[in-house]
Amino acid sequence: MKAKVHITLKRGVLDPQGKAVAHSLASLGFAGVTEVRQGKFIEIDLAETDPAKARTKLDEMCRKLLANTVIEDYAIELA
Protein backbone atom coordinates (compact mmCIF):
# COMPACT_ATOMS: atom_id res chain seq x y z
CA MET A 1 0.00 0.00 0.00
CA LYS A 2 1.32 3.41 -1.00
CA ALA A 3 0.92 6.50 1.13
CA LYS A 4 1.62 10.17 0.52
CA VAL A 5 2.44 12.40 3.46
CA HIS A 6 2.53 16.19 3.30
CA ILE A 7 4.35 18.02 6.05
CA THR A 8 3.79 21.75 6.19
CA LEU A 9 4.68 24.50 8.62
CA LYS A 10 1.73 25.63 10.73
CA ARG A 11 0.16 28.99 9.84
CA GLY A 12 2.01 31.74 11.66
CA VAL A 13 5.33 29.90 11.82
CA LEU A 14 8.02 31.83 9.96
CA ASP A 15 9.22 30.06 6.81
CA PRO A 16 12.66 31.44 5.85
CA GLN A 17 13.07 28.82 3.09
CA GLY A 18 9.78 29.90 1.48
CA LYS A 19 10.78 33.57 1.83
CA ALA A 20 14.10 32.82 0.08
CA VAL A 21 12.27 31.10 -2.80
CA ALA A 22 9.85 34.06 -3.12
CA HIS A 23 12.79 36.47 -3.18
CA SER A 24 14.62 34.40 -5.82
CA LEU A 25 11.50 34.26 -8.00
CA ALA A 26 11.22 38.06 -7.79
CA SER A 27 14.91 38.39 -8.72
CA LEU A 28 14.28 36.20 -11.78
CA GLY A 29 11.55 38.59 -12.90
CA PHE A 30 8.45 36.67 -11.79
CA ALA A 31 6.08 39.39 -10.63
CA GLY A 32 2.91 38.80 -8.62
CA VAL A 33 4.16 36.09 -6.28
CA THR A 34 2.58 37.05 -2.98
CA GLU A 35 3.63 34.15 -0.76
CA VAL A 36 5.65 30.94 -0.91
CA ARG A 37 5.58 28.23 1.77
CA GLN A 38 7.81 25.19 1.48
CA GLY A 39 7.06 21.83 3.01
CA LYS A 40 8.01 18.21 2.63
CA PHE A 41 6.39 15.49 0.56
CA ILE A 42 7.11 11.90 1.57
CA GLU A 43 6.02 8.80 -0.36
CA ILE A 44 5.97 5.63 1.73
CA ASP A 45 5.45 2.06 0.52
CA LEU A 46 3.99 -0.14 3.25
CA ALA A 47 3.60 -3.91 3.40
CA GLU A 48 0.36 -3.31 5.37
CA THR A 49 -2.75 -3.79 3.20
CA ASP A 50 -5.50 -2.74 5.64
CA PRO A 51 -6.18 1.01 5.14
CA ALA A 52 -7.24 1.64 8.76
CA LYS A 53 -4.17 -0.08 10.19
CA ALA A 54 -1.91 1.66 7.66
CA ARG A 55 -3.33 5.06 8.63
CA THR A 56 -2.79 4.38 12.35
CA LYS A 57 0.80 3.35 11.65
CA LEU A 58 1.47 6.38 9.44
CA ASP A 59 -0.03 8.69 12.04
CA GLU A 60 2.38 7.29 14.62
CA MET A 61 5.31 7.63 12.16
CA CYS A 62 4.45 11.29 11.62
CA ARG A 63 4.19 12.04 15.33
CA LYS A 64 7.37 10.13 16.24
CA LEU A 65 9.70 10.96 13.36
CA LEU A 66 8.46 12.66 10.22
CA ALA A 67 6.88 15.84 11.57
CA ASN A 68 7.73 18.20 14.39
CA THR A 69 4.18 18.66 15.65
CA VAL A 70 5.08 21.78 17.62
CA ILE A 71 5.57 23.76 14.41
CA GLU A 72 4.39 21.42 11.63
CA ASP A 73 1.11 19.93 10.44
CA TYR A 74 0.89 16.65 8.57
CA ALA A 75 -1.64 15.14 6.17
CA ILE A 76 -1.80 11.46 5.24
CA GLU A 77 -3.26 10.27 1.93
CA LEU A 78 -3.59 6.58 1.08
CA ALA A 79 -3.41 5.54 -2.57
Binding site for a second copy (CB under 8 A): 6-8, 18, 21, 24-25, 28, 30-48, 57, 60-61, 64-66
CA–CA dist 7, 63 (Å, integer): 11
Closest separation in Å from C-beta 70 to a second copy: 19
In the complex with a second copy, which residue's Cβ is closer, 29 or 70?
29
CA–CA dist 76, 48 (Å, integer): 15
Closest separation in Å from C-beta 2 to a second copy: 9
Angle CA 1–47–55, to nearest 5: 60
